[in-house]
Amino acid sequence: MARAGSARGRENISRSHEAAAARCAAARRRVISMSYKANSAHLGSSLGIVEILDAVLTVSDLRPATASAAERDRVILSKGHAAMAYYAALEQYGLVAPELLDAYLQNGTPLWGHVGLSEAVPAIDATSGSLGHGLSLAAGFSLGHRLRGGDHRVFCILSDGECDEGSTWEAALFAGARALLADRHRRLQSHSITGADARGDGPRALRRQMAQLRIRDDRARRP
């Protein structure tokens, strides 16, 4: 295995970045095409999370061979109004048939303006769009994995606005109290938000934790 600091390691990182950029560019083109053909809203919301969704899918084990598996990583798009980006990202990983995206918002389609569960797309893990519920679902999935003895991960993408929802903070406090929150370095400590007041210290403590994670992840991504 090539070390990240070696010439071969840097070359591998460069190729990985190029591949990600190509997927994201293709997803953006697909989003714009879907929005234009269907005359649909939420174009900005969708374009704003293309890279986030690609990064999540890259590190998850969600692939065509595992999409229907009972035990696998879960990806929940809490901001379900950005559905076009979600569908486009899934297409890049072979998790949704292209013809379904071609029929977006048409009669009989399983792909609507808000993400919904569908037998046609088993990779979709939750119906969303009513803001403020995604983190609760993610916490439930995560706790379920633990109780079954699994070690699968649960990814949840939230909008900034739903971070003002009380249900979001209740879920955050629940997850913190049960040590369900962790970054990839396993350094996120939950004790500072366990039992904290959701109207005061809880949100501030969690924001501090998230800020620390963001700083570490930014440093980790530097070549």
Whether residue 98 contacts residue 90, with contact meaning beta carbons closer than 8 Å, is answered with no
Name the pTM for this structure. 0.79
Lowest-pLDDT choice from 40-44, 122-126, 190-194, 201-205: 190-194
DSSP conformational letter for 164: G
| Element holding 155 (H helix, E strand) | strand 154-157
DSSP conformational letter for 76: E
Whether residue 17 contacts residue 78, with contact meaning beta carbons closer than 8 Å, is answered with no
Instruction: Look at residue 11 in the predicted model and tell me its pLDDT.
Output: 54
Instruction: Look at residue 97 in the predicted model and tell me its pLDDT.
Output: 96
Q: What residues contact residue 194 under an 8 Å CB cut-off, 6+ apart?
A: 173, 176, 177
Lowest-pLDDT choice from 45-59, 166-180, 186-200: 186-200
What Cα–Cα distance (Å) separates residue 105 from each residue in 27, 84, 100, 111, 193? 17, 10, 10, 6, 42
Instruction: Look at residue 160 in the predicted model and tell me its pLDDT.
Output: 84
CA-wise closest residue to 115 among 79, 151, 63: 79
DSSP H helical ranges for 60-200 = 83-92, 98-102, 134-147, 166-177
Whether residue 126 contacts residue 156, with contact meaning beta carbons closer than 8 Å, is answered with no
- Report the 10 Å Cβ neighbour count for 148: 10
Instruction: Look at residue 172 in the predicted model and tell me its pLDDT.
Output: 85
What Cα–Cα distance (Å) separates residue 35 from each residue in 52, 85, 132? 20, 10, 25
The per-residue pLDDT of the chain, averaged, comes to: 81
User: Is the pLDDT assigned to residue 90 strictly greater than 80?
Assistant: yes
User: Is the pLDDT assigned to residue 102 strictly greater than 60?
Assistant: yes
What Cα–Cα distance (Å) separates residue 109 from each residue in 7, 68, 77? 48, 20, 19
Query: How many Å apart are CA 127 and CA 213, to the nearest integer?
Result: 28
- Output the six-digit token pair for 126: 């939750």
What value does the mean pLDDT take over residues 97-101? 96
pLDDT in tens, 36-86: 999 998 999 999 999 999 999 999 999 999 999 999 999 999 999 999 999
pLDDT in tens, 38-51: 999 899 999 999 99
